[in-house]
Structure 1
Amino acid sequence: MATMDQFVDALLAFPPRSDLTDNETYHKAALLHAQRLSKILKERSKDLVVFSQELLNVLDPTYNSLSYLAILHASLIPSPAARVEQEFILSKLVTFMMLFDGRQCRYGGLNLLDVMEAVGNGRLLPPSVAVECLASAILKLDPSGALLTSSHLLLARLAYDTDNIQPALPVIDKPIVYYPGAPDNNNTQYLCDLQLPPALYISKSTGLTSQLKTSSVLEYDLTRGMMYCARRDWRKARDAFEGNVTFLARDGGCSKIMVDAFKKWILASLLANGRHYNTPSRTNASTSKIFGLLGRPYVSLATAFATDDVEQLRLEAQQDAHVWMEDGNVGLVEEVMASYQKWRVLSLQDIYTKISIAEVRQMTKSAETGSTLRKDEDVEALIQNMIIAGMLNGVIEKNDDGTKFLQFLSPTVHSEADVAREIKNAAVIIHHLRQASASTDHRLGRSKEFIKYLMKEAKREKSGEAQDPTLGFETLLEDEDLMGDSLNA
């Protein structure tokens, strides 16, 4: 049996007390240490568990992240060891998830993924703690949050299912640019290089994510949209669902998840914009036809919503009540009906700059009752709520005779500081997009699937064959390969 001191010496061997200034030196040292830890876990895992409490008290989770991870893995995977005090080991798990060194844990591979999956599956920690820990871990590995991983999907499911959405937002709000695929073949690149795009160090090969299929990507956006709906953040919900609506399905196909997202996208659009727009131009034509057929009740509801005919809107909502129930969209439809009068009030600013509260009451109706509100005070309260929520830019004024008016205001003029801040934020976004574009071009240019596609196109042009504009590179790929390196940044 190994002694405590032997374990301490081995676990404290990395990083060495002297600074590792260059990537090559750090990479070699990290690989060697990871190999030693792997051997310990394979041959002496039980001994490691015996000394786990003492060892974890000696190690620094930030400085000795890989060693700390090895002890946690031995103590918790596949299930918490009976010899370890549960409260102690789980508190150390939380500390690790919040503090580990993301650069060092790029070499943690499957051990880190096992721990993140155990947390994400809700087996170890209370949901509120698990969501915060998992979100923190995801961003420590990839501060940009730009690469979609299997841990993202676990986080979204757990946060939505347990109604712990707020702590997941730092991850969920990040726009996805990369998808996990095969690692780059350039041997001069090191996992520890802080300039690497995340797709070059987070992959199935490095063990930091499981492989994602197209259904996983679709599920992630659908769940994100539902999370935003739960928070009544309709614009973000609409954008999340739109990712599914415009997804490049193979051969113009359309999955059930895409249809579900289309229906929710229509409802979220009504709540965010007060109207439903046609499917984006980048949506495949065949897919759009399927949407139109399977989502007809939703399109009819949206068409009525954009008019002053409240009775027609109520009829559409009532006659397709079974559809909303079957699709699980009753709550969203109720939100749409409740918002109808607010959007009719907003539409008045296209005609008036100032209008009395009494006139607003006579000119707008509630879709929930089909009638005007009973009192001017009810209309005033509705308008005040719209102003407070930021939906309406206006004020309620009172004349000398006591008559109250709604004064629509011009759009807010931003200060120079606000404009400068927006420009700075835009510059940061553009910088990240340029990096992503360059990485995508580099990897796509080396993809055998893309090269085959270019050769096929060259032959077609030479033979004079007409190209079907609805067909493209994506039609050459199988579903399970869509997240492979050919379409990865």
Structure 2
Amino acid sequence: MADLLPKLLSFPPHPPPAKPLSDQAYDEGIREQIDVVGKLTESKLLQQTSGGEHALDVINPSLNSIPYAYILLANISAMRKANSKGVDFETLWDKMIGFLVSFDPRQIRYIGEEFSAIVDAVAGLAASNRQSYLAVAPIATALTRLDPTGSMLTTHHLTLVKLALESRNFAAATQVLDKFILYVPGVPTVTKPKFICDMNLSPVTFITDKSKLTGKFKYVDVLEYFLYSGMIYMGMRDWDKALQCLESAITYPAKENNVSKVMVDAYKKWVLVGLLLEGKLLPLPKSTSSGAAKCYHVMAKPYETIAQIFESGTASRLKSEAEFGVHIWRGDLNYGLMLHVLSAFQKFQIRGLANIYSKISIPEIVSQTTSAETGNKLPTPQAAELLIQNMITSGELHATMSTSATGPSILTFSPKGQVLTESQMQRELAGSTERILALTKEIKQTDRLLTHDKEYIKFVQKQKKHVKQGGSGDQGIGVENMDWNDAIEDEDIMGTMY
């Protein structure tokens, strides 16, 4: 290994030259290095240094990601073969994690297959040892390093959400899930970049199935990512983000209105999450095709019935309907979510009192609201005070509660809702500005890709022809009219219905 180290560490130059390498020089240098390292046998990559050290202890993964990745994979292979020349399991695990959180994102673009193999190894080893939670944070960090915009969906995203759901390590995945997905692999009109080391490139140009930084996607994979992301946010009680993710699934383009089982599952959860957010059955997004909407209404009828009762019915009727359909909620894995809906019913009743009163006593609240969990009123004013105080503390209710030694406690509703401090407002504005600027840049790229897509151009020409023949130019076009969606392969669409 001693004679190999100079070759392995020859690129990129360190310390960096005063004048940074051009993209062309960088591209040539790194390809030469990969050509050298890629020809080394596993036995050579496993050799120790002259001082008896493992190469993984000598090479810095953040400076020399290419040779480190190859040596790491050689050790992973040795472990699977029970080859004693590799490092022990605990050391190897630490090295794999260290690599994922520190690799050079510029270098990694050139070794997509090796990067993906390391991600898969981390996920597989964690799952096989029933410690999936250990893999969530490093894989999330790796995806963020690979694509700081987070706008490109990869097969590793799907691995991430599955691990997070399996281990209930939700928070560690949100650095990836919080990003807006704008692209999926397989965009046909992407122009191949001259040098993939150009750090100004959009992720859609270098994260492709050909670069091996992601695997190939099937139609159902995209839907599952949005569904599982929504379930993660549900686990965190972040109903707003959960609703956004589920909405991405239910509005996803479907060929000839063939909504899949995943889309129906997402809609059922979307109905219940909408109740937790707004207390009513939300209207479907305008981008939902009419055919898909009809399917949803038929297949999720019991859920819509619950929503209608929640909005205008009584606590006892809601409780009865929920108990009657318990086999449905359990079969759909929505029983826990239904319990949240029952718990939320009285909270919405309490919040609704703000439309009538500015102040109200706790005994009056007890008399005017009913729990859908029990079908009865709260047993004591103290129980109501505890519920209301928890609502105030969690931000579910904007009000103050005052106690009196001589009379009942009084709830005073805040007419303005939650008031942010100046520093909180500044952080909100700064965060919003940053997100808008990032999205604007990616949306420009998306527009360019779309306007050069042959199927989309045919669709636009068809619409223009329709207008010339006397049709309306504004039809509220649904997915069923978009011929350019016919490119979705039939075998990639899950046709299983309830």
* Preserved CA contact (<8 Å) 1:113 1:209: yes
The partner residue of 1:169 within 169, 174, 184 is: 174
- CA–CA distance in 2 between the matches of 1:185 and 1:211? 16
Q: Is the 8 A contact 1:275 1:302 kept in 2?
A: yes
- Residue in structure 1 matched with residue 488 of structure 2 by the alignment: 478
Of residues 175, 199, 210, the one that matches 1:194 is 199
* 321-330 or 350-359: bigger deviation: 321-330
Q: 1:91 aligns with which of 94, 102, 105?
A: 94
- Specify which of 407, 429, 433 is matched with residue 435 of structure 2: 429
Match of 2:109 in 1: 106
**Residue in 1 aligned with 2:250?**
245
* Consecutive unaligned residues in structure 1, runs of 5 or more: 484-489
The residue number in structure 2 matching 1:14 is: 11
Letter in 2 for 1:76: I
Which amino acid is the alignment partner of residue 8 of structure 1? L
Q: Deviations over 1:140-195 (max 9, x none)?
A: 10112121100000010011112222211211222212222258764654211111
Q: Deviations over 1:71-91 (max 9, x none)?
A: 111221496352212222222
Letter in 2 for 1:179: V
TM-score (norm. length: structure 2)? 0.90
- In structure 2, the CA distance between the partners of 1:388 and 1:417, relative to structure 1 (3 Å rule), is closer
Structure 1 position 446, deviation (Å): 2.9
Deviation at 1:96, TM superposition (A): 1.0
Does residue 1:271 correspond to 2:276, yes or no?
yes
Deviates more, 1:458-467 or 1:224-233: 458-467
Q: Go from structure 1 to structure 2 and tell me whether the alpha carbon gap of 1:451 and 1:183 turns closer, same or farther (over 3 Å shift).
A: closer
Q: Partner residue of 1:47?
A: 44
Is 1:375 the counterpart of 2:384? The answer is no
For 1:359 and 1:462, the matched residues in 2 are separated by: 65
> Residues 406-427 of structure 1: CA distance to partner in whole angstroms, max 9, x if unpaired?
1111223434444333332222
Letter of the structure 2 residue corresponding to residue 337 of structure 1:
L
Deviates more, 1:410-419 or 1:144-153: 410-419
The percentage of aligned residue pairs carrying the same residue is 32
Q: Match for 1:12: what amino acid? A: L
Q: Which residue of 2 aligns with 1:63?
A: 63
C-alpha distance in structure 2 between counterparts of 1:164 and 1:150, whole Å: 19
Whether the aligned pair in 2 keeps the contact of 1:148 and 1:179 (CA below 8 Å) is: yes
Please give the per-residue CA displacement for 1:369-389, whole angstroms capped at 9, x wherever unaligned: 111111111101110010111
- In 2, the alpha carbon distance for the partners of 1:290 and 1:186 equals 38
TM-superposed CA distance for 1:296, in Å, is 0.6
Q: Sort the Cα spacing of 1:187 and 1:301 in 2 relative to 1 into closer, same or farther, 3 A.
A: closer
Other structure's SS at 1:156 match: helix
Over 3 Å counting, the alpha-carbon distance change for 1:185 and 1:297 in structure 2 is closer
In the alignment, which residue of structure 2 is the partner of 1:487? none
The alignment partner of 1:432 has SS state of: helix
Instruction: Give the equivalent residue in structure 2 for 1:315.
Output: 320
Secondary structure of the equivalent of 1:266?
helix
Instruction: Tell me what 2:496 maps to.
Output: none
Q: CA RMSD for the aligned pairs?
A: 2.4
- Equivalent residue pairs, number: 477
Quote the Cα distance in structure 2 between the aligned partners of 1:187 and 1:295.
Answer: 44
Residue identity in the other structure for 2:158: L
Partner of 2:308 in structure 1?
303
Structure 2: any 5+ residue segments left out of the alignment?
Answer: 494-498
Which whole-Å CA distance do the structure 2 matches of 1:119 and 1:337 have between them? 40
Task: Report the CA distance shift for 1:412/1:310 in structure 2 as closer, same or farther (over 3 A).
Answer: closer
Alignment partner of 1:28 is 2:13: no
2:331 aligned to which of 326, 332, 339: 326
Describe the superposition over 1:268-300 as per-residue Cα deviations: whole angstroms up to 9, x where unpaired: 111122222121121111111111111111011
- Which string of whole-angstrom CA distances, capped at 9 and with x for unpartnered residues, describes residues 197-216 of structure 1? 11111111111000112211
Letter in 1 for 2:433: A
Preserved contact between residue 354 and residue 406 of structure 1 (Cα < 8 Å): yes
Counterparts of residues 136-147 of structure 1 (less than 5 Å): 136-147=141-152
Q: How far apart, in 1, do the equivalents of 2:308 and 2:116 lie?
A: 47
Judge conservation of contact 2:230–2:243 (CA < 8 Å) in 1.
yes
Alpha-carbon shift at residue 9 of structure 1 (Å) = 2.1
* Offset, 1:390: 0.7
Query: 3-state SS of the aligned residue for 2:410?
Result: strand
Alpha carbons of structure 1 residues 145 and 187: separation in structure 2 relative to 1, 3 Å: closer
Deviates more, 1:72-81 or 1:152-161: 72-81
| Counterpart check, 1:260 vs 2:270 | no
User: Residue 151 of structure 2 aligns to a residue in which SS?
Assistant: coil
Aligned to 1:211: 216
Report the AA paired with residue 274 of structure 1.
G
1:384-395 residue pairs with structure 2 within 5 A? 384-395=389-400
SS in 2 for 1:306: helix
Greater mean deviation of Cα atoms: 347-356 or 234-243: 234-243
Tell me if the contact between 1:250 and 1:474 (Cα under 8 Å) persists in the aligned partners: no
**Equivalent residues of 1:77, 1:114 under 8 A apart:** no
Alignment partner of 2:45: what SS? helix
CA distance in 1, matches of 2:147, 2:236: 26
2:144–2:176 CA contact under 8 A, matched in 1: yes
Query: Deviation at 1:128?
Result: 2.6
- Tell me the distance in 2 between the aligned counterparts of 1:366 and 1:418: 35
- Distance (Å, rounded) in 1 between the aligned partners of 2:127 and 2:404: 63
Seen in structure 2, the aligned counterparts of structure 1 residues 428 and 189 have a Cα distance that, compared at 3 Å, is farther
User: SS in structure 1 opposite 2:374?
Assistant: coil
